[in-house]
Amino acid sequence: MTKAEALKKGCLVNAANDEPVFILRAQDRCAPGAVRDWAHRAANLGANGDKVSDAMDVALEMERWQTSHTMKVPD
């Protein structure tokens, strides 16, 4: 999901104004693995299969993006 998509239909739309959120960007070398870990944990807790599948797709999109862009370690 791109930034534009997330702002229109992603979790940020549903977050309360005072709700803490944590955003991972594709430039972060850790991001795809962190998203996959979240997806596995969510699946183990019984999350909706489509939600888990979407997260796995985002991890793949991040990895594809990383192949042609500069990545960095978290700063």
Q: Which pLDDT tens digit goes with each residue over 1-36?
A: 676 777 677 777 888 889 998 889 999 999 999 999
Name the one residue in this structure whose structure tokens are 């999901």: 1
Q: CA torsion, points 23, 29, 32, 37, in degrees to nearest 10?
A: -80
SS3 for 61?
helix
Residue spans per domain, the chain: 3-66
Confidence (pLDDT) at 48: 95
Q: Which pLDDT tens digit goes with each residue over 27-69?
A: 999 999 999 999 999 999 999 999 999 999 999 999 999 999 9
| The model's pTM | 0.84
Q: Tell me the β-bridge partners of 28.
A: 72
